[in-house]
Chains A and B, each alone.
Chain A
Amino acid sequence: MKRLFSLLLMLAALPAWASLNVFATVPEWASLAREIGGDKVKVYSATNAFQDPHRIEAKPSLLAQARQANLLVAAGADLEIGWLPLVIRDSGNSAIQVGRPGYFEAANYVSRLDIPTVLDRAHGDVHAAGNPHIHLDPRNVLKVGEALAARMAELDAPNAAAYQAAYKLFAGKWQAAIGRWEKEAAGLRGVPVLVHHSSFVYLSAWLGLKEVGMLEPKPGVEPSSGHLGNLLARQQSAPAKMVLRTAYNQEGPSQWIAGKTGIPAVLLPYTVGGTNEAKDLFGLFDDTLQRLQKAVR
């Protein structure tokens, strides 16, 4: 009975331990917030690795979580445009409104790729601000981390030193890891690949992978048999070595290409939680590189 009572007391006190309540839209930035915040923060991830972050609904649970957040960490670059604006507005939470310190957009702190010169929906689901899947270049993670640590320090001044120290520790480990990854991935440079969706643009740019085709005929439009046939025909003249997809993409189209061409269909975790090995940001990149190397051999 006494133990039960103390357990209840602990549970009741739980929110008090966390001085910053973070609402992250995607698992990668939830993970980064945990690296920097440690036990000073309570982090909620609005989505998991098996959910297409473009297609989330403004669910009641998201509103309830956003209501209590001190800091909202979004990927930005319009990735969450179909649901996040509604969640923010209907949360009744003044702290996380766009433009306030409690609103943080990761994509603002990196150089974005694939910024379209023509904005026309005839080109599919285009993002005017560029490709939003920025986290798969680990150097971007560092830039976002620096900005996020500063923002957390600003919002929670008493713990500012702790956030900065945690970020420094993370950055040191991360930089060492980047060195290791780049060495490991040297053999991937120039390897031609097919991708399901344009989710790996930053990974390809970092590792020097050559994206020679996309299974979606236009971004956000599902692969069609006609388009897959064209890709197959192109395989004769410009052969790709593997076909990449995320944990939330359907596997059918990749498997079809793989079956017809004999190249491996590779599932990459894409974000934290996408595979069993991708438990945190380090695991995400370790596992991504391992899977790529296994496929290229």
Chain B
Amino acid sequence: MHKPFAMAALLAASCGAQAATDSDLAAIRSQIDEMKKTYEQRIASLEQKLAQAEARDEVRTAAPVTSKSAVAETVTGNRAENTASSFNPEVSLILQGQYKDMKNGAGRGITGFVPAGGHDHGTGAIEGINKRGFSVDHTELVFAANIDPNWRGQAIIAAVDGKAEVEEAWFQSLGLGQGIGLKGGRFRSGIGYLNEQHPHTWDFADAPLMYQAMFGTEGGYAQDGIQLKWLAPTPLFLEFGAEFGRGANFPGSDRNKNGSGGGAVFAHLGGDVGEANNWRAGVSYLKTSARERESVFRDVGGLEAQGFFAGDSATWLADFVWKWAPNGNPKYQNFKFQSEYFVRREDGNMTCKDENAVGNACAAEVTGTYRTRQSGWYAQGIYQFTPNWRAGLRYEQLDSGTRDFGINAANLAVDAYKPKKSTAMVDYSWSEFSRVRLQFAQDKSMQGVTDNQITMQYIMSLGAHGAHKF
């Protein structure tokens, strides 16, 4: 690196040798010193430039392109990608918590509908939906990555007080081709519209009554099994899906058997109307079976009784979503309307018991036929009027419908009621990663009770955050 300097010095020295007076020598020395200085400066600046260039090169990332393309990529400094940690999955964490002000209802439920999850309100236990005051309701840890060129995987671990559960854990095909998609593991079922969405993407702090009635307080149906989807090669979005699985969750129950315990089919249709409007409509059918599915009832005297259902449960769902944004640019303003309807038929037998020996009408076990047909719907509209603010309204109504308890009708109270709930919310987002929400609801889901509820909620997402579904 110092070669030019050395040569210059040699040259200078050889010239100087002919007439070596002291003053000449001094002059030569000062000249050499000067040259040395300028060269050193130039070398230093060149070294600096080189270092900068190398640093820049290292930062540049170029996605690996496996194509046989003839054109070499002009940016190939992919050294920074070579560390093992680059292969770590995308990790994100959702923080969600709330403050809730509502009436004290230990046995909170929906009148006329059997509560999912049976007998949870035992000694001192406060279910998620019954929590008043401050609470951290849901902390979600999401891991996702491509497994190899053929598969992608994702796991969601949800931590609720005192326990962590595997909310989802699935693998998904990447391009089987022909519009076919395959998913396997534990996943939120593709039925309905809201079902596949996680609580942090909901537009209200709680699931609609309809989802709570259909699937319990989790507000969604998840399945351990496989899902097959096919997207038709048409300009209009047309998708069909089928699922087979364990069917362990309400309205089914976990059973010790081979084969499929629950299945679902669904079809979606969607498209654009001009630049500004997009829509999707769907119809789904879920069939599950239950054995020993426990629910809490009141007997004719008002005492608690346990009912154990064995039979089939079939649910039809229809869903519709319409989104509007000026020029199709949702950033500043947009509006979303969504509505879903369900009807469920259950057919089988129910055994009424007095497990806690409270002296109810089923002190001697009574088994009779059990047939119900129940329905419900909700409709909601969300308007985002600035990049940060949104406001929304939701109205919902259920119908306890026909409930034929057979001979148990003589032992158990058969409620007929139309639960209703109206909800208004306004939320503020600093960015797409942070949001706070204020929600007012007038909940008439329990007969004779009008519960005015105020919820303040926050939703924060940390780390890599994947795309949301339509």
Interface residues of A (CB under 8 A from B): 47-48, 50-52, 54-61, 63-65, 67-68, 76, 81-86, 89-101, 105, 108-112, 115, 117, 121, 124-125, 128-130, 143, 146-147, 150-151, 153-154, 220-222, 248, 250
Contact = CB atoms under 8 A, between A and B. Distances in A.
B234 interface: yes
Given A60-B271, A61-B270, A95-B175, 17 more contacts: A58-B469, A60-B237, A63-B237, A67-B179, A82-B432, A83-B467, A86-B468, A90-B231, A91-B231, A97-B149, A105-B65, A110-B74, A129-B61, A147-B71, A154-B70, A222-B386, A250-B332
Contact of B60 (A55, A76, A105, A111): A111
A150 B181 contact: no
Nearest to A218: B431
Nearest to B388: A222
Contacts of B430: 221
B292 interface: no
* Main SS at interface, chain A: loop
Interface in B204-246: 229-239
Contact of B67 (A61, A93, A101): A101
Contacts of B29: none
8 interchain residue pairs of minimum CB distance: A60-B270, A94-B175, A60-B237, A94-B177, A92-B179, A50-B327, A86-B467, A97-B175
Nearest to A96: B175
B233 A68 contact: yes
A86 B175 CA distance: 12
Interface centre among B174, B238, B386 (most CB of A within 10 A): B174
Nearest to A55: B331
Interface in B375-426: 386-388
Contacts of B66: 99-101
B37 to A, nearest CB: 33
B73 A92 contact: no
A84 B74 CA distance: 24
Contacts of B466: 85-86
Interface in B446-470: 466-470
Interface of B: 56, 59-71, 73-75, 146, 149, 152, 172, 174-181, 229-239, 268, 270-272, 275, 278-280, 323, 327-332, 386-388, 430-433, 466-470
B77 to A, nearest CB: 10
Contacts of B278: 57, 59-61
Contacts of A96: 175
A63 B67 CA distance: 24
Contacts of B181: 89-90, 92
A57 B470 contact: yes
A112 B175 contact: no
A115 B388 contact: no
Nearest to B68: A154
A169 B417 CA distance: 74
A56 to B, nearest CB: 8
A51 B236 CA distance: 21
Most buried by B among A94, A101, A129, A146: A94
B271 A64 contact: yes
A147 B73 CA distance: 8
Given A97-B149, A108-B62, A91 B179 contact: yes
**Residue of A64, A94, A99, A111 with most chain B CB atoms under a 10 A cut-off:** A64
A51 B327 contact: yes
Nearest to B279: A60
Given A64-B237, A67-B233, A90-B231, A57 B330 contact: yes
Nearest to A53: B329
A121 B431 CA distance: 10
B330 A55 contact: yes
Contact of B175 (A54, A100, A146, A222): A100
Nearest to B329: A51
A65 B432 CA distance: 27
A89 B467 CA distance: 11
Given A63-B237, A68-B233, A99-B64, A50 B73 contact: no
Nearest to B236: A64
A117 B56 CA distance: 10
24 contacts: A52-B331, A55-B331, A57-B323, A60-B271, A60-B470, A61-B271, A85-B466, A90-B231, A92-B177, A95-B177, A98-B63, A99-B65, A101-B66, A101-B67, A101-B68, A101-B69, A112-B60, A115-B56, A115-B59, A128-B61, A147-B71, A150-B70, A154-B68, A250-B332
